[in-house]
Amino acid sequence: MKLLVTGGAGYVGSVVASQLVAVDHETVVLDDLSKGHAGAVPPGARLVRGNLLDDEFLRGVLGEGFDGVLHFAALSLVGESVEEPGRYYRNNVCGTLGLLEAMRGAGVPRLVFSSTAAVYGEPRNVPITEDEPAAPTNPYGATKLAVDRMISAYATAHGLAATSLRYFNVAGASGTLGEAHEPETHLIPLVLTAAAKETPVRIFGADYPTRDGTAIRDYIHVEDLGRAHLLALEAARPGMHDIYNLGNGAGFSVRDVVEAARRVTGRNIEAIEAPRRAGDPPELVASSAKARAELGWKPEKPALEDMISDAWTWMMSHPNGYE
Ligand code: UFG
């Protein structure tokens, strides 16, 4: 297939673009490089630089003709979304509306969208199934939910074959591709930076109602997550919008992550207890039963230590990220 990957110079998008190239899909990456890195665009994929808010540019790109779009481009920091909701709504919602319109105009039949566990807010039931009511607690999650609903409407009205994948906590690296956010707010890269630089890492909240008092998350290897996109692309049906949670179904606390990182790196990582971070739910663990049953997806690297080990290897070989 000929596929457009928006945000394909970012962490998850670049890994998926490389997986698409590996199975001989003609892959075009659309990225404005505001967060992504030109060096993360895999060899074999073509980079088109531009922004989703530019309708004329989008019409031109989509007008080339594509069999599908994988849409990763978005702002994705919870804290920042609380401070600057307008930026999040404009980028994530208006940007996707422009993309959907350009796809419709050009007759592009398939879409796979990066949604998030953040749409569930503070879930009533864990592990979280797709039936859990969506009730985001921050603008980031709200923008992703708005897009999920927009996609459902486009599928019904215009016959789009669409899938939303709701990611839990993505981790690890894939060969030359790894996680390099600026600023970095994610736990695993920060713990590994602490290991590399012999600086302390902060534990945001030690008073949660969890087994060791720290927040619990479901970590999924970026390669496993990536493979789900290829399966979703194959399974998508015209006029249908399917939604799948993607995680391992196992919860690890912040302290578990620090302990695992100590084992992987062999370094003594100092961890300092700090106040809770605003907007963080105590526990987010996925039920991926639906993805397993309907997409035939199964994680191949479910062990937390493997994810941390791959992230560590990447960090050691890319001490300055993609610079
Ligand atoms: N944490 C620390 N110290 C740090 C960084 C993080 O204790 O230095 C904690 C957080 O408070 C949280 C856990 O580690 O409890 C995981 O934090 P991350 O920032 O790595 O990930 P989040 O769970 O906050 O966010 C991820 C994605 C979001 C998505 C969310 C879904 O990055 O895009 O999952 O809930 F919205």
Which domain range does residue 192 map to? 187-218+249-287+300-317
Show Cβ contacts of residue 266 under 8 Å, excluding neighbours closer than 6 positions: none
Residues 213 and 225 in one domain: no
Q: Which residues pair with 48 in a beta bridge?
A: 30
Catalytic annotation, pick one of 140, 208, 219, 244? 140
Q: What's the pLDDT at 232?
A: 98
Element (H, E) at 113: strand 110-116
Residues 129 and 260 in one domain: no
Closest atom of ligand 1 relative to the 190 alpha carbon: 8
Domain count, the chain: 2
Angle at 67 between CA 63 and CA 70, to 5 degrees: 95
Residues 148 and 263 in one domain: no
- Going by alpha carbons, the residue nearest to atom 35 of ligand 1 is 118
Residues 21 and 145 in one domain: yes
Q: What span, in angstroms and rounded, lies between the C-alpha atoms of 55 and 3?
A: 19
Q: Residue 178 falls within a domain, yes or no?
A: no
Q: What span, in angstroms and rounded, lies between the C-alpha atoms of 179 and 218?
A: 17
| Residue 162: pLDDT over 90 | yes
**Residue 219: active-site member:** no
Q: Would the pTM of this model clear 0.95, i.e. be above it?
A: yes
Q: What's the pLDDT at 185?
A: 94
Domain containing 268 — which CATH number?
3.90.25.10
Residues 147 and 208 in one domain: no
Give the chain's mean pLDDT: 97
Which protein residues touch ligand 1 with a CB less than 6 Å away? 76, 78, 116-118, 140, 169, 185-187, 190, 201-204, 215, 217, 254, 277, 280, 284
Residues 229 and 117 in one domain: yes
DSSP 80-99: HHHH-HHHHIIIIIIHHHHH
Q: What's the pLDDT at 234?
A: 97
DSSP 15-43: HHHHHHHHTT-EEEEEE-SSSS-GGGSPT
3-state secondary structure labels for all residues of 148-163: HHHHHHHHHHHCCEEE
Residues 42 and 149 in one domain: yes
Per-residue pLDDT tens for 6-43?
A: 999 999 999 999 999 999 999 999 999 999 999 999 99
Domain containing 100 — which CATH number?
3.40.50.720
Q: Residue 322 falls within a domain, yes or no?
A: no
Q: Residue 266 falls within a domain, yes or no?
A: yes
Per-residue pLDDT tens for 80-94?
A: 999 999 999 999 999
DSSP 174-238: BTTB----SS---HHHHHHHHHHHT--EEEE-S-SSSTTSS-EE-EEEHHHHHHHHHHHHHH--T
Of 265, 263, 242, 260, nearest in space to 250 by CA: 260
Q: What's the pLDDT at 279?
A: 80
Per-residue pLDDT tens for 253-289?
A: 999 999 999 999 999 999 999 999 988 889 999 999 9
Q: What span, in angstroms and rounded, lies between the C-alpha atoms of 114 and 226?
A: 11
Residue 2: CB atoms within 10 Å:
13
